[in-house]
Amino acid sequence: MAKKIGFDAIGIVPVAALGSEARAFEQWLQQDFHGDMRYMKNHFEKRVSPDLLFPGAKTVISCAVNYFHRDKKASQNGKISIYAQSLDYHFVVKQMLNELLEELQKIIGQVQGQAIVDTAPFMDKVWAVRAGIGWRGKHTNLINRKIGSYFFIGSLLLDAAIPSNDSAQRNFCGSCTACIDSCPTKAIVAPYQIDARKCIAYLNIESKPDFNEAEKKMLGEWLFGCDICQQVCPWNRFVQETKNSLLQPKKDLANLQTQDFLQLTKSSFKTLFNDTVIFRTGLRRMKRNATAVSENIKTRNFGSAEDSAT
């Protein structure tokens, strides 16, 4: 049923308290690795106990949606992560999850559910690992043997107990360290641990203040997000492009240059990005990013660990 709706992988797991995962998350917060993503600190109890988030929750259905497409953005002048070049995944994946819930209700009858796609205090990756969607790569994203790591995770919390597949995948990273070695800002501070404050995707998506000089350099050519640790991963060498029609790259973004962002008005920004994740970051911050990237391109000054502010 889930495959028919367009999910690329699916796993089912019973709701249970998070033990070591909750402690690792607590340590992450204690080290201030979340930077100023204050929402990560809120609702700690709910985040580690799905039955507080959705009373009566008994099952998590975790789903993967492949978003990979070859980067057709013509210009090398400023990079945008491929996940951000199509429609906002929060809407696309949530719609698919709600469709799945409706289909389940037809079969099971009285079952209530909550669809989550990075939209609630919930640990998407932790449950996806438990549900057997993939293993956690050293860059911390999930990897699936068949579809690599370029996929979104959507979760459906259900108040019914349904049989689980209980098949956590083996970790196939082995002795590889390509993602750690290639991260230009050394944000992967240890295998499986990100200091978000050093991650380009945090700086250009989440961080709100203006950049200091070191942060500007850390952005390198990335206007929005960063794909480097996934580009170098051997498990992404043979991945197939997504067949999901809603996740194809938007044509009007293909020729955008860094300079174009500096010219955007409120209304042209809305027209171009209203239905993408870039809209959430807003025009002011996108102009901030574009200013930093254009300075970097002019001076060929790209970020390094030594430049790192944190």
Provide the binding-site residues for ligand B12, judged by CB under 6 A: 21, 24-25, 28, 37, 40, 81, 83, 117-118, 122-126, 136, 139-142, 149, 151-153, 192-194, 196, 199, 201-202, 205-206, 225-227, 229
**What DSSP character marks residue 148?**
B
Specify the 3-state DSSP secondary structure of 185.
Answer: coil
User: Given the complex with ligand B12, which of 30 and 265 has the nearer CB atom?
Assistant: 30
User: Given the complex with ligand B12, which of 98 and 105 has the nearer CB atom?
Assistant: 98
C-alpha to C-alpha distances, 48 to 3, 55, 75, 129, 136, nearest whole angstrom: 28, 13, 42, 15, 18
Active site residue 275: no
CB of 107 to ligand B12, least distance (A): 26
Contacts to ligand SF4 from residues 98-127, by CB under 6 A: none
Closest by CA to 144, choosing from 8, 304, 5, 291, is 8
Rule CB under 6 A: is residue 85 a binding residue for ligand SF4?
Answer: no
Residue nearest to ligand B12 (CB): 225
Q: Which of 71, 118, 159, 307 is catalytic?
A: 118
Q: Which of 200, 205, 219, 272 binds ligand SF4 (CB under 6 A)?
A: 200
**What DSSP character marks residue 206?**
I
Q: Which of 53, 116, 183, 247 binds ligand SF4 (CB under 6 A)?
A: 183
- Rounded CA separation 228/9 (Å): 24
Kindly state the helix (H) or strand (E) to which residue 194 belongs, with its residue range.
strand 193-194
Write a three-state SS string for 180-225. HHHCCCCCEEECCEECHHHCHHHHHHHCCCCCCHHHHHHCCCEEEC
Rule CB under 6 A: is residue 177 a binding residue for ligand SF4?
Answer: yes
Q: In this structure, are residues 220 and 302 in contact, taking their beta carbons and an 8 Å threshold?
A: yes
Rule CB under 6 A: is residue 233 a binding residue for ligand SF4?
Answer: yes
Q: Which of 83, 224, 235, 269 binds ligand SF4 (CB under 6 A)?
A: 235
User: Given the complex with ligand SF4, which of 133 and 183 has the nearer CB atom?
Assistant: 183
- Rounded CA separation 113/158 (Å): 4
Helix, strand, coil % (nearest 5) of the chain? Answer: 40, 15, 45
CB of 265 to ligand B12, least distance (A): 26
- Rounded CA separation 119/122 (Å): 8
Q: Which residues partner with 62 through β-bridges?
A: 11, 155
User: Given the complex with ligand B12, which of 126 and 264 has the nearer CB atom?
Assistant: 126
Q: Which of 73, 139, 216, 285 binds ligand SF4 (CB under 6 A)?
A: 139
* Residues lying near ligand SF4 in the complex (CB under 6 A): 137-139, 173, 176-179, 183, 185, 187-188, 194, 199-201, 226, 228-229, 232-235
Catalogue the active-site residues. 118
